[in-house]
Amino acid sequence: MWLTGDMLGWRGPWGTTYAVNLRTYIASLAEEQWIAAARILKTRPPMPWFTLNIVYDEDLKAIYQFIRHLGPAGEPAPAYVPPDQEPKTPYALFPSPPGDARK
């Protein structure tokens, strides 16, 4: 079940987010759409979008082909939960950033 996302939430000051099911996401995109999306993607944790934004086109194509080879599987990830709402799934809690350390 590689790359099918996770029901474990990542909760912090941004709210609660979930790893996306890349197998169903990629299944809906052409290769060119995937590359274009990877260049401008800005997401909340746990996706390291800042790294994906700088991956070479050849590597993005390889990622796309690998995921397409696996085929769609699994269910979509749970929806984003705003910071003021309690998630209904298990989650990892991240503390807020520390205050000014000079105080």
Q: What's the pLDDT at 46? A: 82
Residue 90, in any domain of the structure: no
Residue 12, in any domain of the structure: no
How many domains would you assign to the chain?
1
Q: What's the pLDDT at 96? A: 62
Domain that holds residue 30: 25-75
pTM: 0.80
49/83: higher pLDDT: 83
Q: Is 73:26 a contact under the CB 8 Å cutoff? A: no
| Mean pLDDT within 47-63 | 93
| Mean pLDDT within 78-101 | 84
Residue 100, in any domain of the structure: no
Asked if residue 103 has pLDDT above 60, the reply is no
Residue 61, in any domain of the structure: yes
How many other CB atoms are there within 10 angstroms of residue 98's CB atom? 6
Residue 88, in any domain of the structure: no
